[in-house]
Amino acid sequence: MSLDLSIGAEQAAMLGHPRDASTRRLAGAVRSLAFASVGIGVLLLAWWIGGWIVAHNPATANFAGFAPAPTFERLWRMLASGEAVRMAGPSLLRIGGGLAWAVALGVPFGILVGRFRSVREASSVPFQFLRMISPLAWMPIAVMAFATWDRAIVFLIGVAAIWPVLFSTAHGFRRIDPAWFRVARNLGARPWHMLFTIIMPAIAQDVLAGIRLAVGVAWIVLVPAEFLGVTSGLGYAINDARDTLEYDRLAATVVIIGFIGFALDLICGQAIRRASWIHED
Query: What is the full DSSP assignment across 91-131?
Result: HHHHHHHHHHHHHHHHHHHHHHHHH-HHHHHHHHHHHHHHH
Q: Express as a percent the part of the chain with pLDDT over 90.
A: 30
Q: What is the mean pLDDT of the chain?
A: 83
**In terms of Cα–Cα distance, which of 67, 36, 40 is closest to 53?**
67
Q: What is the pTM of this model?
A: 0.80
| Integer Cα distance of 99 and 107 in angstroms | 12
b/e for 58-71, b at 16 or more Cβ within 10 A?
Answer: eeeeebbbbbbebb
What average pLDDT score do residues 97-122 get? 92
pLDDT tens digits for range 128-140: 999 998 888 898 8
Question: Is the distance from CB of 253 to CB of 238 less than 8 angstroms?
Answer: yes
What is the pLDDT at residue 65?
A: 75
| Integer Cα distance of 103 and 165 in angstroms | 7
Q: Is the pLDDT of residue 14 over 80?
A: no
Q: Which residue has the higher pLDDT, 166 or 13?
A: 166
What average pLDDT score do residues 217-227 get? 89
What is the pLDDT at residue 108?
A: 92
Q: Which residue has the higher pLDDT, 74 or 64?
A: 74
Kindly report the CATH number that applies to the domain delimited by 68-275. Answer: 1.10.3720.10
| Integer Cα distance of 92 and 85 in angstroms | 10
Among 16-25, 28-37, 190-199, 245-254, where is mean pLDDT lowest?
A: 16-25
Q: Is the pLDDT of residue 13 over 50?
A: no
| Integer Cα distance of 149 and 119 in angstroms | 34
Q: Express as a percent the part of the chain with pLDDT over 70.
A: 91
27-33: long-range contacts (C-beta < 8 A, 24 or more apart)?
A: none
